[in-house]
Amino acid sequence: MASNPFSLEGKVALVTGANTGLGQGIALALAEAGADIAGAGIVPADETGEKVRALGRRFVNIQANLITIEPVGRIVEETVAGLGRLDILVNNAGLIRRADAVDFSEKDWDDVMNVNIKSAFFMAQAAGRHFIANGGGKIVNIASMLSFQGGIRVPSYTASKSGIAGITRLLANEWASKGININAIAPGYMATDNTAQLRADEERSKAILDRIPAGRWGIPADLGGAAVFLASRASDYVNGAIIPVDGGWLAR
């Protein structure tokens, strides 16, 4: 396995929001590649833990409220205490609130920004300090099609995902020379809880599907290959990249 540049044998990955959807799909892909997993979030990732252990990997749950932005350094500390090390951080936890811009509330703005961009930066900071002290590591941020586009009725989500693209590049500029790779995956339109309203709207869902060359909504497993690539030594010379996994949406 040591000769396989995509192998994560002996590595530990911390995935925020690993209880369902994209986070669960990424956690399982990393576990299949050999990594042990820590899942951090306000909802315990019990189902994900069962699936990771079924693959023969270790899993620990870490309770964390990323809306209130509690000190996130202890999440890294609990990962290291529970699994012995930390090699990979996946900033996946995300929140979306929908309303017309003229009606959008300050609470919805703050909640989304706290989870999607503020917590992601400070999680990266905490992991970065650990990686600098230990010779390197991998950070994978979860961006969005709205890191490239404006969207409609999701002002704080668009702002936060545009911000994720920016801090991904910023951290790559600062930390690439320290053996840390910071990149992002930009999922296209995925069949998750966050898009349930869109998929339930027949007209909106059809408009989205008509633009996707692949002709379908994505599923969490579609992110697995990109996540393993960016978490492994196969991506050692990749820094500051934002990789769309979108069925061709941006190419249209």
Q: What is the DSSP string of 126-162?
A: HHHHHHHHHT-EEEEEE--GGGTS--SS-HHHHHHHH
Any idea which residue has 């490239």 for tokens? 148
Provide the H-helix boundaries in the chain. 21-32, 46-54, 73-83, 106-113, 119-134, 155-175, 196-200, 202-211, 224-231
Give ∠ CA 103-108-111 in degrees, rounded to 5: 165
Catalytic positions, please? Answer: 157
CA–CA dist 41, 35 (Å, integer): 19
- Helices 155-175, 119-134: crossing angle, 10 deg rounding: 20
Is residue 88 within 8 A of residue 134, CB to CB? The reply is: no
CA–CA dist 30, 226 (Å, integer): 10
Token readout for 226 is 């990109």
Number of neighbouring beta carbons within 10 Å of residue 138: 25
Is residue 137 within 8 A of residue 239, CB to CB? The reply is: no
Is residue 39 within 8 A of residue 66, CB to CB? The reply is: no
